[in-house]
Amino acid sequence: MAKRDAEQSQKGGTNKKSGEAFLAKKKTEKGVKSTPSGLLYKVIVGGKGEKPKATDTVQVHYRGTMIDGTEFDSSYGRGVPATFPVNGVIRGWTEALQLMKVGSKWELYIPSELAYGERGAGEQIGPNSTLIFTVELLGIQKPEPSVPPAPKAQ
């Protein structure tokens, strides 16, 4: 167990350094924008629809890769868009989605602290991994309005 923890810690340090170098280089590229949190993004296609709120559910197509290009997930590969709550995903996605308009397609460069951090995710996403996502915002589903309670019988 201690050996595995040491290996994870070493891998996390390596991932963090390579991720920081990748983001520093990416930040200098034309068209790449940054937010105060450290999220980087590039608009591939600008949308004309509305922007989702944290309480909305969105429908997206996406592809996720490591900084070396290894794909770890893709709704395109499954042939079906994904639907999920804006505030139910990694912080980098939650932030980016609220900046995007329906019809947009962006490339996101997400530092580890806005992704899965020190814990990583599954077999493919190691600790402190910087992630790249191509995200296409297809639609927004507003939350169901709360039904006010029925008036009490007199």
Catalytic machinery residues: 62, 72-73, 90, 116, 133
- Secondary structure tally for the chain: helices H, strands E: 3, 7
Place of tokens 């980087």: 40
Given a contact cutoff of 8 angstroms between Cβ atoms, the answer to whether 40 and 33 are in contact is: yes
Given a contact cutoff of 8 angstroms between Cβ atoms, the answer to whether 1 and 78 are in contact is: no
Distance from C-alpha of 22 to C-alpha of 18, rounded to nearest angstrom: 6
